[in-house]
């Protein structure tokens, strides 16, 4: 009897691997179009869609060696097949990655973020970096107030 996961072509994590929640979401989205439910999974809201310009600018690459797998559907790319290459160099079938990028802007494998058309998000992204720099200061302040 095959269980659900082997039926889906998933495998157990190897030693030292951590689960990649985003990649699982991308697979579920592709197979079941479950984005609505997944979007609120763990209360974690995903970033907005990649910008149209960024999607159009994605490089197309023709596969020249065997053994390269699409991370979303886990099918091996055939030689001569044209695939979409993200700026992080991860390669996907167009039909696997384009619906995903139309929903959220990051590579499911490594979370590399493409630009979005969302001004608020872009402003927040810049702010997030600055906030990180400030975090240490806030912690020091908190400690001096409450200890």
138 lies in the site for Zn ion, by CB under 5 A: no
Which letter does DSSP use for residue 102 in this model?
T
With tokens 């720099």, the residue in question is 133
Measuring CA to CA, which residue among 100, 72, 68, 97 is closest to residue 81?
A: 68
110 lies in the site for Zn ion, by CB under 5 A: yes
Q: Which stretch binds Zn ion (CB under 5 A): 7-15, 41-49, 104-112, 115-123?
A: 104-112
Contact 59, 74 (CB under 8 A): no
The residue from 24, 109, 118, 122 that contacts Zn ion (CB under 5 A) is: 109
Q: How far apart are CA 53 and CA 57, in angstroms?
A: 6
8 lies in the site for Zn ion, by CB under 5 A: no
The residue from 22, 38, 83, 96 that contacts Zn ion (CB under 5 A) is: 96
Of 89 and 131, which CB lies nearer to Zn ion in the complex structure? 89
The residue from 23, 41, 73, 98 that contacts Zn ion (CB under 5 A) is: 73
Q: Which two tokens stand for residue 17?
A: 């691997």
Q: How many other CB atoms sit within 10 Å of the CB of residue 70?
A: 20
Footprint of Zn ion on this chain (CB under 5 A)? 70, 72-73, 88, 90, 93, 96, 107, 109-110, 112
């Amino acid at each position: 009897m095959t269980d659900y996961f082997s039926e889906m072509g998933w495998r157990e994590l190897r030693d030292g691997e951590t689960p990649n929640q985003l990649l699982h979401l991308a697979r579920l989205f592709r197979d079941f179009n479950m984005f609505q439910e997944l979007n609120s999974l763990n209360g974690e809201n995903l970033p907005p869609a990649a910008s149209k310009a960024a999607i159009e600018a994605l490089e197309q690459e023709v596969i020249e060696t065997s053994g390269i797998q699409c991370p979303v559907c886990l099918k091996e790319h055939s030689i001569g097949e044209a695939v979409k290459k993200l700026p992080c160099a991860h390669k996907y079938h167009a039909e696997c990655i384009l619906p995903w990028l139309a929903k959220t802007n990051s590579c499911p494998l490594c979370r590399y973020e493409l630009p979005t058309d969302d001004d608020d998000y872009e402003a927040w992204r810049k702010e997030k970096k600055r906030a990180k720099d400030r975090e240490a200061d806030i912690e020091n302040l908190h400690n001096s107030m409450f200890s």
